[in-house]
Amino acid sequence: MPVIADSKKRANSNTSTSDNRVSKKKVSAIMTIKQTPEEEAKAKDYFQPHVLDPKFREDLKKTISESKPYNWGTIKDLMDEELLKNVRREMIEEIQFTKKETDIYKVFQSGDLANLSALPESMRSRLPNLYKLRSAIYSQTFRDFISYVTGCGKLSGIKTDLSLNTYIKGCHLLTHDDVIGSRRVSFILYLPEPGKTWKPHYGGSLRLFDSIVSNVPKSDVFCKLTPQFNQIAFFQVSPGWSFHDVEEVKVDKQRMSIQGWFHIPQPGEDGYIPGEQEKTEARSTLQQLESKELKEYDFPKLQFNELPPCELKELSVSEDEELELSQDDIKYLAQFVNPSLLTKESLEKLNNIFTEESVVDVLSFLNTEYETLLKKKMKQLELNEYPPMPQQQSEVKYPWKLAGPSHKQRYIYMDGLPKQDMTTAESIVKMNTVTSQEQPSFGLTKQCIELEERLNPIPEAVKLDNPQATTATEVDIKLCELAQFFKSISFKKWLYQVTGLTILKDQILIRRFRPGHDFILATKLDENEGEDKTRLLDGVLDATLNLTPSSGWENGEHGGYEIGMIDEDAEVIPDEKLNQFNEDEAAIYKSSDKDESLVYESQASWNNLSLIFRDESVLKFVKYVSFQAVGSRWDISCSWKCKNDGADDDEN
C-alpha cells in the first residue's frame, strides 16, 4: 500500500528558505569613508614593491585589454605577506561566519561589519590588520591603479563595500554578472592557507563565462582562476557580460576571501557624472532577466501543447457528469501505476487532500514490477555509463538537450521534439522565427533512440575493458514510455479523479540534474502571452515524478531538492537599496521571511509523485546538485493548463 501524504511541510534546517533569502538586514560592509593624508601615505607600504612599479602596471594594463571573455586581471603577491597573514588570523579568531544558503549560493559569511572607522575603539582594536587592509585597498593610490589598468574611469573614494567569506566543502556561487547599483569594479582577495598551494581539483575557482548575446551567458566555462594566498582577481562590472561563478569547493579545506567592489564616483567627487548610475542600473541583468527579448534564449520553452480535439472531447464532461475511469483505462494504468492507487478509496483520499491543500505527495507511485526493473537499469547506468555523463554542451547528444541560459538554469532534458541547435545567436533566432507545427512525440523520440543504438553499439574494445559498460538507451526508452504515459487520456482521467481538474494543455519534460553542474533558480509561473485565458484557470497543475535511484539525499546537503514558496508578501528590492546588500544576497532579489512561505519541498527520491496547483504567487527552484552527490537527480516534470469551468474565483 503506498503512502499518501499531504505535501505541505516545513523544510529541515539544511533546506530552509525562511531565513536564507535576502533579508532587509545589511550584511556586507557598505562604508562611507574619508581617509586622512597619513592613512593615504601609509597605504603604499602595505603593497608588495612590484605592484606599484610603472612597468608592471603597463604590462598588466596590456594583459587586461587583451583578456577574454571580457577584461579581467589578477595580481599575485599583492599585499605585504605578514599583514595578510594577520588579517587571516583576525578573520578566524574575531569574525563569526554564518552559513547562508539560497537557490544561487551556499557560503559562510561574516555578519554586519558596518563602517570599520565608526566601530568602538574596543572592537576596532581587535581588527587592526583588517582596518589597515581596508585602508590600503580603498586608498587613492590603489584606486588610481585599478582605474588605469582596467580603463574603467574614476572610482569613488567615499563609497566602498566588502565582505568576508569562507567557502568550505560543498559551498558554491552560481552564475551572475555582479551588476547592482553603482558597482564599477569587482575584486576578490584570496586567503586560503598561507604556505600551501590551493590545487585545481580542490574546486573553489573563479570561473568566467562568455556570452551568446548580452545578458545571455553560455553554459560552458570559458576559463578559470585557481586562487592562491595573497592573490587578487578583479574585473570591470559590465551589464550583461561580466558573468562568472565560484566553483563548488570539493575538499575539506577553507577557501577564505575578502570580496568587494569599487563604485562609480558619488556626487561631489572627482569624476562624478549625473545620471551615470541610473543608466547602469537600467541595464542591470536583474532588470532584464524576464524581458521578452531574453526569453527567446530560454530552453526549454514553457510551451503548453493543445490536446487533439478527439482527446478534448473524451475528457469533456457536463456539470451533471463525472469523468469516470473505464475498465480499459484501469487496465492501461495498471501497467505503470501501483494498483492500490486505482481503487475508489485511494482516489477519494487523494482528492480530499488535494481539495484541502492544493498539494499532495504520492509515495510508491509506480507499480513494483515496473519500478524494480527501471531502478535496476538506472543504477547500472550511473555506475557504468558509456559514454560518460556529458560535462560540456558539445557532449550532450540528441535526444537529450541542455537547458539554459546558465544564469537561470542548467540541466539536460528530453522534450519529445526534434533536434535543435542552441549554440549560437543565429541558430536560436532562426528557431524562434520559424514556427514549428510539430507536437512533442516521445514515441518518435523512442524510435530515434533505438536507431542510434543499432547504428552505434558499444565498441568491442570498451566491452573488453569494462564488461559492465551500459549505454543510456534502455533507461531512455523506459523514460520515454513514462512520458508517453503522462500524455495519455487514461492518466488525464486519473488526474481528474485526484484533482477535479480537466486538462486542456500539457508540457512533459524528462530531466536529469548532473552532480556538480545543474540547478534551476527561483522562478515564477510564466504565463503564455496571447493565448485565450478566458477558458483557463489562473495557474497550472504541476507534477514531478522523482526517479532518483541513488541514496543520501534526505538531509538536503547535496542539493537536488525542489522547493515551492509563496511569494505574496515578497517585494522587489528598490534599486536604490540594492547596494546595501553584498554580491551574493543582492543576486537573490526576492525576499521571503516567513516559515509559512514554504508550500512544499520535494527531496530527490525514488518513485514519489508530487502534485501541486500553483499560480503566479508561487516561486519554484531546484537546488544546485553538489559534486558530492552519489548520482544525478532524475525526474519527469509535467505541467498542465486546466479548464475554467466558470466557477467564481474563491471556488477556483
Amino acid at 72: W
DSSP character string of 85-112: HHHHHHHHHH--EEEEE-SSEEEEEE--
The pLDDT of residue 290 is above 90:
no
> What integer is the mean pLDDT of 305-331?
85
- Look at the block and give the residue holding cell 571580457: 70
CB 431 within 8 A of CB 421: yes
Domain that holds residue 74: 29-287
Q: Once rounded to an integer, what is the mean pLDDT over residues 560-588? A: 52
Q: Quick one: which of 574, 603, 576, 579 has its CA closest to 591?
A: 574
H-helix or E-strand containing 353? helix 344-357
pLDDT digits (tens, 9 = 90+) for 190-212: 999 999 999 999 999 999 999 99
Instruction: Give me the amino acid identity at 54.
Output: P
The answer to whether the peptide bond before residue 239 is cis (omega within 30 degrees of 0) is no
Query: 520 and 420: one domain?
Result: yes
Q: How confident is the model at residue 219 (pLDDT cuts 50, 70, 90)?
A: very high
DSSP 256: E
Examine the domain organization and report whether 298 and 248 are in the same domain. no
In degrees and rounded to multiples of 5, residue 171 shows phi and psi of -75, 150
Residue 112: its pLDDT value, please? Answer: 53
**pLDDT over 70 at 486, yes or no:** yes
The beta strand positions in 386-535, using DSSP E, are 401-402, 409-410, 412-414, 503-513, 519-523
What Rg, from alpha-carbon coordinates, does the chain have? 27
User: Has residue 95 been placed in a domain?
Assistant: yes
Question: Confidence class of residue 587 from pLDDT cuts 50, 70 and 90?
Answer: very low
Q: Which of 287, 322, 356 is the last residue of a domain?
A: 287
Buried b / exposed e along 318-336 (16+ C-beta atoms within 10 A): eeeeebebeeebbebbeeb
Greater model confidence, 286 or 466: 466
Q: Is the pLDDT of residue 562 over 50?
A: yes
Question: DSSP label at 631?
Answer: S
Residue 35's pLDDT is: 65
SS3 content of the chain, % helix, strand, coil (to 5): 30, 25, 45
Considering the domain boundaries, does residue 324 fall inside one?
no
Question: For 422-456, how does the pLDDT look when each residue is reduced to its tens digit (9 = 90+)?
Answer: 778 888 877 777 655 678 999 999 999 999 888 88
Answer yes or no: do 37 and 144 share one domain.
yes
Least confident of 226-235, 418-427, 573-582: 573-582
Q: Which residues contact 430 (CB under 8 A, 6 or more apart)?
A: none
If asked whether residues 431 and 520 sit together in one domain, one would say yes
Q: Which grid coordinates are listed for 406?
A: 546558465
What was the pLDDT predicted at 527?
59
Residue 288 has pLDDT above 70, yes or no: no
* For residues 127-135, average pLDDT: 91
In whole angstroms, give the CA distance from residue 157 to residue 206: 26
Q: What is the pLDDT of residues 358-380, one digit of tens each?
A: 999 999 999 999 999 999 999 99
Give the three cell numbers for residue 577: 537599496
Residue 574 lies in a domain: no
Q: What phi and psi values does residue 165 have, to the nearest 5 degrees? A: -130, 150
* DSSP string for 281-305: HHT-HHHHTT-HHHHTT-BS---PE
Q: What is the pLDDT of residue 194?
A: 97
The reply to whether 342 falls in a domain is: yes
Contact (CB, 8 A) for 605 and 548: yes
- Predicted pLDDT at 115: 59
Rounded CA-CA distance 122/129 in Å is 14
Average per-residue pLDDT for the chain: 85
Run of H or E including 38:
helix 37-43
Contact 247, 188 (CB under 8 A): no
pLDDT of residue 338: 97
Distance (Å, rounded) from C-alpha 502 to C-alpha 613? 13
Distances (CA, A) of 254 to 78, 192, 429: 20, 6, 44
Condensed to tens digits (0 to 9), the pLDDT of residues 18-65 reads 333 223 333 344 445 566 777 777 889 999 999 999 999 999 999 999
Do residues 236 and 300 share a domain? no
pLDDT for position 120: 66
Looking at the fold, whether 396 and 522 belong to one and the same domain comes out as: yes
Residue 174 pLDDT? 97
With a pLDDT cut of 70, the percent of the chain lying above it is 83
Give dist(CA 604, CA 630) in Å, integer: 12
Same domain, 387 and 282: no
Q: What pTM was estimated for this model as a whole?
A: 0.89
- Say yes or no to pLDDT of 295 above 90: no
Q: What is the pLDDT of residue 571?
A: 44
What residues contact 535, with CB distance under 8 A and at least 6 apart? 504, 643, 644
Supply the pLDDT for residue 8. 38
Distances (CA, A) of 473 to 393, 448, 514, 521, 546: 19, 10, 18, 30, 20
Tell me, yes or no, whether 402 and 257 share the same domain: no
Separation CA 458–CA 456 (nearest Å): 7
Q: Is the confidence at residue 116, as pLDDT, over 70?
A: no
Distance set, CA 359 to CA 5, 90, 200, 451 (Å): 9, 49, 44, 40
Q: Check residue 186 and give its pLDDT.
A: 97
For residues 338-352, average pLDDT: 96
pLDDT-derived band at 11, boundaries 50, 70, 90: very low
pLDDT at 436: 57
d(CA 325, CA 342): 9
**Does the residue 50 lie in any domain?**
yes
Instruction: Please tell me whether residues 269 and 354 are part of one structural domain.
Output: no
pLDDT at res. 557: 94
User: What does the pLDDT read at residue 96?
Assistant: 87
Residue 577, pLDDT score:
33
| Last residue in a domain, options 234, 256, 287 | 287
- pLDDT for the residue 535: 79
8 Å CB contact between 604 and 547: no
Establish if 19 belongs to a structural domain.
no
Cα 600 to its chain centre, rounded Å, is 18
Tell me how many domains the chain contains. 2
Torsion of CA 329, 335, 340, 341, to 10 degrees: -60
Side chain identity, residue 606? W
* DSSP β-bridge partners for residue 410: 519
Region of poorest pLDDT, from 70-74, 148-152, 155-159, 318-322: 318-322
pLDDT category, 188, cuts 50, 70, 90?
Answer: very high
Nearest by Cα to 395 from 361, 367, 423: 423
Q: Is the Cβ–Cβ distance between 415 and 300 less than 8 Å?
A: yes
CA triplet 578, 124, 42: central angle to 5 degrees?
A: 90
Torsion angle, CA of 137/143/147/148, rounded to 10 degrees?
A: -100
Nearest partner of 533 among 507, 504, 568, judged by Cα: 504
d(CA 495, CA 489): 10
pLDDT recorded at residue 280: 72
- Same domain? 350 vs 442: yes
Q: Look-up: residue for cell 541547435?
A: 421
**In this predicted structure, what is the pLDDT of residue 19?**
34
- Using CA atoms, how far apart are residues 336 and 373, in angstroms rounded to an integer? 12
Q: Letter for the amino acid at 481?
A: E
Q: What is the DSSP letter of 595?
A: G
More confident residue, 4 or 220: 220
Instruction: Report residue 310 as a C-alpha cell.
Output: 478527439
Lowest mean per-residue pLDDT among 488-497, 606-615, 643-652 = 643-652
- The per-residue pLDDT for 332 is 97
Are residue 298 and residue 194 in the same domain, yes or no?
A: no
State mean pLDDT over 407-417. Answer: 96
- State the CATH number of the domain containing residue 400: 3.60.130.20
Q: Are residues 246 and 351 in the same domain?
A: no
CATH number of the domain within which 170 lies: 2.60.120.620
CB within 8 Å of 162: residues ≥ 6 apart: 28, 29, 134, 137, 258, 259, 260, 261
In a domain, 367, yes or no: yes
| CA–CA–CA angle 105, 106, 111 (5° rounding) | 105
Residue 22 lies in a domain: no
